Amino acid sequence: MAPVKKKTEARVVTKDIGGDKNGGKRTVRVSRLPRYYPTEDRARKLRSRKKPYSQHKKKLRPSLTPGTVCILLAGRHKGKRVVFLKQLTSGMLLVTGPYHLNGCPLRRINQIYVIATKTKLDIGDIKVPERINDAYFKREKLRKPKHTEGEIFDTKKEVYSVSDERKEDQINVDKQVLGVIRKHPERKLLFGYLGAMFSLQNKQYPHLMSF
């Protein structure tokens, strides 16, 4: 059987036009064209196939295991050696100096800003409080004084101060980490290693070094 052809609707229609001076018949479009064109083309809404960061799979490098001594490459404490405790739900690493050795407190950092060394500590018995999560490290917004509050020339801003809760957690975690280091057979070397800053000299290249 021959395929059935679909009927296409006519775009132009012939109409009779009255009057002596008119032509009698005239071809007219079925649907009129718009009189004005838009100044801008409407942008199509493109659906992004990328997932938001909260839905990404937080893969951890195989060299990063709890207890690994890492070197920080960014931030206020860059160059310091820290102990990796655990990975948070956001994918960030929870690390500590300990604070008693090099002044680095409990903080979180992205794993791309970290060099994992071969030095590892057995921190299986260390208990990190459950309240130490991503919300724990959110910055508090400091309230600025309004013009109507205080004296006319009082322009001092609120200064951030560490809460007693964070001080308590810092002492608790560092006490456990220092206890593990003291039990290590090379504790003297570890104390000096964690307290020393990492630096490079001339003709020393990190990609050619083994940590």
**DSSP per-residue codes, 84-111:** EEEE-TTSPEEEE--HHHHS--SEEE-G
Cα 72 → chain centroid? 17
Series of mean pLDDT values for 10-residue runs along the chain (211 residues):
69 81 78 77 73 82 92 92 92 91 92 92 90 85 62 62 85 92 91 90 85 81
In a domain, 3, yes or no: no
What is the reported pLDDT for 71?
Answer: 94
Would 155 be classed as within a structural domain? Answer: yes
Whether this prediction's pTM lies above 0.75 is answered by no
Residue 96 forms part of a structural domain: yes
Q: What is the CATH number of the domain that holds 70?
A: 2.30.30.30
Residue range(s) defining the domain that contains residue 90? 59-208
**Residue 64: per-residue pLDDT:** 93
DSSP 122: -
In a domain, 164, yes or no: yes
Task: Tell me if 98 is assigned to some domain.
Answer: yes
Residue 103 lies in a domain: yes
Number of domains in the chain: 1
